[in-house]
């Protein structure tokens, strides 16, 4: 009930400024209730994909507490509030790098241990191929640098545009675009080669 | 790249789609805004606060930094090095310094309580120490050679730490440290100082922080050397200088993380308890005792920021007129970047 009221209230008050709200002069309760209701769930999903659901819940709480305490450093001219929040959340993942890499390795390994499906139905075969690609991708993700993973997953899982990823990570947008192109090309090639090997 | 996008969509899909229980996280945020004592989190390894640890705090005569009231208060971390290293980790990954452009100023507002001696009498032998609440504001220019401003404004009435006879009170009122507001350049300590300029020590200069080593052990040696320059005692002196550097407001986040790791190497620093500063921020108080005084540094373990300090007189106070356990100083600091000297926002 409180969340609903807060959301309605803030829409009336900040309207078109929702993407870049003024966090300094606005009533923090009003603005942060709205920010939480608007962004906590997708941020939690992004974090859960990277470090698991149990850790993600705590990191969501920490993300918004840090945002509250550092609200004076948020510059609406420099970033959307969404990219700023994802930047904080991504920074918090630095304390969980080993957990994240272990998760990707386990996914790759667990998937590889699955029995081969002896079925020629096209749909099932497609699913098996997709699962194999996911395992290959997971193994590759475990070997990437943290910042390469950030760029890929902020794009793929969080749905941020390259310019927003740049704002979140504090790097130039041109760097994000070139890095994204290089990484996606490399991973796509890896998946295609993996599929060819499986077909032999 | 359809195959790649499909693979990303499948990867850890269950975890990403798992039902989220965000009520606790939302409540923590609302509690923080309301200034409610932080609720206990589910996942930390906790230790109870020993009752004896709080004895010094309870002995303090003036409540400057109030203690969180929960009777079964628990701390999230077991030792001071763990608190400091955790703060360093958080600072490493999450802290950013608001960039300061040419022509701008770093504005540092220190809300503090500090002890002065009011000395009166024909031979200046009658000493009346008092605690004064004040706002110390500093505007530090982006250009190290530029003009800086320091303003000191008293807030409220002085609190005398000794009994004041009625006939002396009026004389004391006219003899307190006055407000001040100065502008001038920062001159290195020992260099000739022009009229109006500031005699700045190392901790007042950005180039000092820029030149510090990154390795915490090297930094610890630097801190040791620095303490020796100030003639400080071993561990308490290191801790005191370490706190002083943090509260000058000029230490970049990158250095602050390593500074915390260096402070973690000081023997004898211990967790005191959870504290809430007067400006509503809460953190973990770390302390170190010596005979003369008990120093505390309060660290916010969510942001990794040092948010306050507190000093109480030790068993043998440097000012013999002050009773042991009396609070003799405290501070809380906020920093921002402003476009002109004297501006606050």
Quick: pLDDT tens for B41-79: 433 322 222 222 232 222 222 223 333 333 334 445 578
* pLDDT number for residue B60: 27
* pLDDT number for residue A71: 87
**Residue of chain A nearest B303, judged by CA positions:** A66
Q: Do B302 and A91 touch (CB under 8 A)?
A: no
**Shortest Cα–Cα distance, B157 to chain A (Å):** 31
* pLDDT number for residue B237: 87
More confident residue, B199 or A40: A40
Query: Taking residues B258-278, what's their average pLDDT?
Result: 88
**Shortest Cα–Cα distance, B33 to chain A (Å):** 6
The lowest-confidence range among A152-161, B24-33, B86-95 is: B86-95
Query: Taking residues B160-172, what's their average pLDDT?
Result: 86
Q: Do A69 and B302 touch (CB under 8 A)?
A: yes
Q: Do A57 and B3 touch (CB under 8 A)?
A: no
Read off the pLDDT of residues A6-42 as tens digits, 9 standing for 90 and up: 333 333 343 435 788 888 887 888 888 889 988 999 9
In angstroms, rounded to a whole number, what is the distance separating the alpha carbons of residues B201 and B222? Answer: 15
Work out whether strand B186-188 and strand B198-200 pair parallel, antiparallel, or are unpaired. parallel
* pLDDT number for residue B190: 64
Query: Taking residues B69-96, what's their average pLDDT?
Result: 69
ipTM of the modeled complex: 0.83
* pLDDT number for residue B195: 66
**Residue of chain A nearest B94, judged by CA positions:** A91
Closest CA to B186 of B201, B172, B174: B201
Q: Do B6 and A130 touch (CB under 8 A)?
A: yes
In angstroms, rounded to a whole number, what is the distance separating the alpha carbons of residues B249 and B203? Answer: 9
* pLDDT number for residue B303: 78
Query: Taking residues B244-267, what's their average pLDDT?
Result: 91
Closest CA to B239 of B305, B304, B285, B205: B285
3-class SS at B20? coil
Tokens encoding B223: 């801190």
Whether the CB-CB separation of B331 and B309 falls below 8 Å is answered with yes
Please state the pTM of the whole predicted model. 0.56
**Shortest Cα–Cα distance, B233 to chain A (Å):** 35
* pLDDT number for residue B324: 92
The residue of B5, B9, B11 whose CB has the most chain A CBs within 10 angstroms, and thus the best one to mutate to test that interface, is B11
Say how far residue B105 (Cα) sits from the centre of its chain. Answer: 21
* pLDDT number for residue A17: 57
Split at pLDDT 50, 70, 90, the class of B218 is: very high
Place of tokens 């906790």: B46
* Whole-number average pLDDT of chain B: 80
* pLDDT number for residue B278: 65
Read off the pLDDT of residues B99-153 as tens digits, 9 standing for 90 and up: 888 999 999 999 999 998 888 877 777 788 999 999 999 999 999 889 999 999 9
Query: Taking residues A97-124, what's their average pLDDT?
Result: 66
* pLDDT number for residue B287: 93
Query: Taking residues A103-113, what's their average pLDDT?
Result: 75
Residue B125 burial by Cβ neighbours in a 10 Å radius (0-12, 13-18, 19+): exposed
Split at pLDDT 50, 70, 90, the class of B166 is: confident
In angstroms, rounded to a whole number, what is the distance separating the alpha carbons of residues A10 and A159? Answer: 24
| Res. B212: pLDDT tops 50 | yes
| Res. B34: pLDDT tops 60 | yes
Q: Which residues of A56-90 are buried (b: 16+ CB within 10 A; e: fewer)?
A: bbbbbbbbbbbbbbbbebbeeeebbbbbbbbbbbb
Read off the pLDDT of residues B279-294 as tens digits, 9 standing for 90 and up: 777 788 999 988 888 9
Specify the long-range contacts of residues B76-79, CB closer than 8 Å, at least 24 apart. Answer: B76/B41, B76/B44, B76/B46, B76/B284, B76/B301, B77/B44, B77/B45, B77/B271, B77/B284, B77/B301, B78/B45, B78/B47, B78/B271, B79/B270, B79/B271
In angstroms, rounded to a whole number, what is the distance separating the alpha carbons of residues A133 and B187? Answer: 64
The lowest-confidence range among A172-176, B89-93, B168-172, B189-193 is: B189-193
Contacts of A66 in chain B (CB under 8 A): 94, 302-303
**Residue of chain B nearest A84, judged by CA positions:** B94
In angstroms, rounded to a whole number, what is the distance separating the alpha carbons of residues A117 and A130? Answer: 13
């Amino acid at each position: 009930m409180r969340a609903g009221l807060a959301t309605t209230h803030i829409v009336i008050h900040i309207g078109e400024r929702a993407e870049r709200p003024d966090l300094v002069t606005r009533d923090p309760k009003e603005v942060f209730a709205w920010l939480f209701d608007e962004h906590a769930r997708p941020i939690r999903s992004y974090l859960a994909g990277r470090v698991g659901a149990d850790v993600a819940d705590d990191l969501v709480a920490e993300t918004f507490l840090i945002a509250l305490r550092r609200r004076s450093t948020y510059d609406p001219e420099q970033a959307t509030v969404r990219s700023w929040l994802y930047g904080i959340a991504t920074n918090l993942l630095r304390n969980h790098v080993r957990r994240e890499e272990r998760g990707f390795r386990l996914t790759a390994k667990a998937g590889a241990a699955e029995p081969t499906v002896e079925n020629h139905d096209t749909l099932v075969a497609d699913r098996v191929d997709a699962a194999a690609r996911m395992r290959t991708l997971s193994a590759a993700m475990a070997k990437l640098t943290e910042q390469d993973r950030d760029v890929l997953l902020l794009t793929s899982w969080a749905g941020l545009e390259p310019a927003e990823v740049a704002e979140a990570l504090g790097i130039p947008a041109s760097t994000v675009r070139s890095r994204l192109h290089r990484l996606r090309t490399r991973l796509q090639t890896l998946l295609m080669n993996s599929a060819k090997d499986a077909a032999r | 790249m359809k195959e790649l996008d499909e693979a990303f969509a499948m990867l850890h899909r269950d975890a990403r789609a798992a039902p989220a229980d965000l009520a606790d996280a939302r409540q923590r945020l609302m509690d923080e805004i309301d200034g409610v004592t932080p609720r206990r989190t589910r996942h930390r390894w906790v230790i109870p606060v020993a009752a004896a640890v709080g004895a010094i705090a309870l002995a303090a005569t003036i409540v400057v930094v109030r203690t969180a009231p929960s009777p079964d208060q628990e701390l999230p971390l077991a030792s001071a090095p763990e608190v400091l290293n955790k703060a360093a980790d958080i600072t490493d990954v999450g802290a950013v310094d608001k960039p300061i452009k040419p022509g701008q100023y770093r504005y540092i507002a220190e809300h503090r309580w500090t002890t002065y001696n009011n000395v009166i009498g024909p031979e200046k032998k009658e000493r009346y120490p008092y605690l004064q609440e004040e706002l110390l504001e500093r505007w530090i220019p982006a250009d190290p050679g530029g003009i800086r401003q320091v303003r000191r404004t008293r807030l409220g009435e002085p609190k005398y730490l000794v009994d004041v006879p009625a006939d002396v009170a009026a004389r004391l009122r006219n003899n307190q440290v006055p407000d001040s507001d100065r502008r001038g350049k920062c001159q290195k300590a020992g260099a000739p100082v022009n009229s109006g300029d500031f005699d700045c020590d190392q901790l007042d200069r950005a180039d000092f922080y820029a030149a510090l080593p990154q390795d915490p052990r090297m930094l610890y040696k630097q801190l040791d050397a620095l303490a020796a320059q100030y003639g400080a005692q071993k561990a308490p002196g290191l801790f005191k200088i370490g706190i002083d550097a943090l509260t000058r407001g000029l230490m970049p986040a990158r250095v602050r993380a390593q500074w915390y790791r260096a402070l973690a190497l000081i023997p004898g620093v211990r967790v005191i308890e959870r504290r809430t500063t007067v400006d509503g921020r809460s953190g973990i108080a770390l302390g170190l005792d010596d005979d003369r005084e008990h120093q505390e540094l309060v660290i916010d373990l969510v942001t990794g920021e040092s948010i306050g300090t507190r000093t109480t007189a030790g068993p043998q106070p440097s000012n013999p007129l002050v009773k042991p356990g009396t609070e003799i100083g405290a501070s809380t600091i906020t920093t921002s970047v402003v476009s002109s000297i004297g501006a606050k926002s």
